[in-house]
């Protein structure tokens, strides 16, 4: 018995002339990454890349990240097909990273209007505590704490609540605390060009509490002082004194 090829199967010559190789679309993260590289833009964990995302890409990214988290769960040998608790974990984690805990990487800075300092205010003030909710770049586990911002106004002023908004946006990225404070200082300087700026952050790192050395009480405190706060030791001392007063208000 002789076999014949099904008539629908293209012959070699037909395949060569009519079949156009279909390009598999690159994952959206590759396209974004390529764009960033071509523009020479840094996309480290604590950078914001919102200016380089096109319409709809964040939604596509959410689908891609969910797929990778699903793979991660499978690699951790978790039966996501039968475990009702982890069935939709991948989608939840993707949403949480892109729109909540790391939103400061993918979303634009909240709109913050600044106004001319018409009254020429030049007395210092502090705002705080402002919640610090971040994650360490090394383990992606929480960094939680408080931050205080001291301002000696310059040419422009912003509303008090705006400091919380910009801090939340900056901290909502994977960070190391030392860099987070510098980035926040840069953003505040850009927004209101103060004559002096001081920031103090006190935070607990869950990579020390939850894992590693497992020190539940250890916290990290760091600060940055710029402009008049750096040049004038009495102003710097006043800032730390005001922070102490604000902290004591937390205890009552």
Site for Zn ion, rule CB under 5 A: 136, 138-139, 207
**Between 96 and 207, CB nearer to Zn ion:** 207
Task: Supply the minimum distance, in Å, between the C-beta of residue 23 and Zn ion.
Answer: 40
Q: Between the CA of residue 114 and those of 24, 26, 126, 153, what are the distances in Å?
A: 47, 41, 17, 12
Question: What CA–CA distance (Å, rounded) separates 129 from 55?
Answer: 36
Task: Supply the minimum distance, in Å, between the C-beta of residue 207 and Zn ion.
Answer: 3
**Between 99 and 139, CB nearer to Zn ion:** 139
**Between 66 and 136, CB nearer to Zn ion:** 136
Cβ 148 vs Cβ 127: under 8 Å: yes
78, burial (CB in 10 Å: exposed 0-12, middle 13-18, buried 19+): middle
Question: What CA–CA distance (Å, rounded) separates 106 from 168?
Answer: 13
What are the E-state strand segments in 35-172? 115-116, 125-136, 142-152, 156-157
Closest-by-Cβ residue to Zn ion is: 207
Task: Supply the minimum distance, in Å, between the C-beta of residue 134 and Zn ion.
Answer: 11
**Between 164 and 177, CB nearer to Zn ion:** 177
Question: What CA–CA distance (Å, rounded) separates 47 from 51?
Answer: 11
Question: What CA–CA distance (Å, rounded) separates 104 from 81?
Answer: 32
Question: What CA–CA distance (Å, rounded) separates 31 from 83?
Answer: 34
**Between 133 and 139, CB nearer to Zn ion:** 139
Task: Supply the minimum distance, in Å, between the C-beta of residue 206 and Zn ion.
Answer: 8
Task: Supply the minimum distance, in Å, between the C-beta of residue 100 and Zn ion.
Answer: 19
């Amino acid at each position: 018995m002789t076999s014949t090829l099904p008539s629908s199967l293209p012959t070699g010559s037909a395949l060569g002339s009519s079949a156009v190789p279909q390009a598999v679309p690159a994952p959206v993260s590759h396209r974004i990454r390529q764009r960033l590289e071509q523009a020479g833009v840094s996309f480290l964990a604590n950078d914001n890349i919102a200016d380089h995302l096109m319409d709809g890409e964040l939604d596509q990214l959410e689908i891609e990240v969910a797929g990778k988290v699903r793979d991660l769960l499978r690699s951790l040998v978790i039966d996501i097909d039968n475990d009702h608790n982890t069935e939709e974990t991948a989608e939840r984690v993707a949403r949480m990273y892109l729109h909540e805990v790391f939103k400061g990487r993918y979303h634009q800075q909240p709109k913050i209007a600044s106004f001319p300092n018409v009254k020429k205010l030049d007395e210092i003030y502090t705002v705080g505590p402002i919640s610090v909710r971040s994650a360490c770049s090394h383990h992606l586990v929480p960094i939680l704490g408080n931050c205080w911002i001291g301002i000696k106004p310059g040419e422009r002023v912003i509303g008090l609540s705006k400091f919380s908004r910009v801090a939340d946006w900056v901290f909502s990225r994977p960070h190391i605390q030392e860099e987070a404070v510098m980035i926040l200082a840069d953003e505040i300087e850009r927004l209101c060009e103060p004559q002096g700026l001081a920031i103090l952050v006190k935070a607990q790192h869950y990579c020390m509490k939850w894992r590693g050395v497992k020190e539940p009480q250890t916290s990290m405190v760091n600060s940055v002082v710029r402009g008049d706060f750096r040049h004038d030791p009495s102003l710097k001392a006043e800032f730390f004194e005001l922070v102490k007063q604000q902290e004591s208000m937390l205890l009552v």
